Chain A
Amino acid sequence: MSRAALLVLADGRFPAGGHAHSGGAEAAVRAGRLTDARDLAAFCRGRLHTTGLTSAAFAAAAVLGVDPLALDEAADARTPSPALRATARKLGRQMMRAARATWPGPGLDALAAARPRGAHQPIVLGLAARSAGLGPEDAAHCVLYETVSGPATAAVRLLSLDPFDATGVLARLAPDIDKTARHAVATAHRAVRKGPGALPAASAPLLDITAEAHAAWAVRLFAS
């Protein structure tokens, strides 16, 4: 694997549109559930172990060659919120465009042709990682880091939180991120033998509930 390719894919400046999304943080701030660095840590940790774990496992499974269309259907079943399904597909479309320009490959082309309106983002990220010569653990780490760095960055803007505090939250999550990535990859290997049903389905009710409300706001800073 190329460590530099991993940095390119994980970079917040990789042009895949992730910066426009708060990962539910904007709605949590409005509801008064996210007010300081302590809340941010709990928010990010909860997100990491729910939607983060599930998404990371899907990305890792895509790297390992599990059928992306079967993964896409299984990802839909794990995303009961239509607002979050739309977000996942929009981010998938943007990731696809960036990835095909960066690391072109037949896997990406085939999925782009089969899902012109976008597949769930972690699956596209997994295929991009594969195309870049990266492994399942790399893809899982990318997804998990994005799972927590999105809300942390958003919290700095929404709460005027000290950026040092926000980065401190991310740094303290590092051991959890590593552990969750290993777990995600282990389930992805199981999915190679048993199909996407073997992947985690960890869910976060508040993220599902507030995503629908947030999508209906007339004015918002972030797309989700």
Chain B
Amino acid sequence: MLSRDDQDSLKTTPLHGLHVALGGKMVPFAGYDMPVQHPAGVLKEHLHTRSQAGLFDVSHMGQIALRPKSGKVEDAARALERLVPQDIVAVAPGRQRYAQFTNADGGILDDLMVASFGDHLFLVVNAACKEEDEAHLRANLSNDCIIDSLTERALIALQGPKAESVLAKLCAEAPTMKFMDAGPHKVAGIDCFVSRSGYTGEDGFEISVPAGDAERLAKTLLDNPDVMPIGLGARDSLRLEGGLCLYGHDIDTATTPVEAALEWSVQKSRRTGGARAGGFPGAEKILAHFDQGAARRRVGLRTEGRAPVREGALLFADSAGGEPIGKVTSGSFGPSLNAPVAMGYVPTASSALGTNLFAEVRGQRLPLTVAAMPFVKNTYKR
């Protein structure tokens, strides 16, 4: 239990009062008092997001503007490329890209979204890492960029097959946006930054809104009968079914993007032989993993029974004996699959789809199979 002092020191988002009014079950998460679930419960919230639309408060995440001192966004992009293995120069105005801050060992300091708004870059980083990320940016990019932490903004995600029709009523441009489009748009008359992306595997949007307008916008969205408020519990089960990494669990400072099966996120221009190969922290190790392969790999895992295999469960090659060969990094019950789903790291030799493995759960070895991710087909509007 948290002491009163701990409770009092928790930060709140601009939607905190709304969560409490909606009956959200509040828990501490990354220093914030956040709803783990609303009255519908994790299962219904999850399924509602997949069938209609869910509204998520992700205002605890960090929003940072990188403003080039030269006035040219390419200069901010080139500067940011010193910290991430992605091609940021190629992110066209109005587009967004998934990226990772890497460290000198090739590990991942955080994962983030980078959008170009034409005259500056807009970054969304994880709540638990945002102070370190900001310090990292200041320490490395201050010569080229003004690092502007946008603390007076909330972030609302609207996810699911009805997200487009719901948002279209408030933002005329929403239906014209494609997956990973991002830019300033008016939503319900409010100046927002809207991206067509999310963390559920569903089509949907993330809306950055001034803090003072956040509750009004959230209430307007929730007035639509297709929209249900969703807590962090369903956010986690949705992203896990979507095969998406959770920082600090599936990726961390000891995993490279190649080990994490995130090769798709590193463009050819930054790999060996590319126009701007290397030049990011840990490039030597990460490019060696690209060129020679890594010893281990993040994989999806499915079980036969209904017992969830949770984070931390050790993985074995055989039903008895032997040393552990890997570990589960995220595991839960997938409500849309009505079955357990997990991801974890295994030796690359054991990472092929269909490989049979065992997870130790309460002293017993449960059979698992290496399975393709996402576990639930994503529905992005490409």
Q: Are A and B bound to each other?
A: no
Residue ranges of A at the interface with B (Cβ–Cβ < 8 Å): none
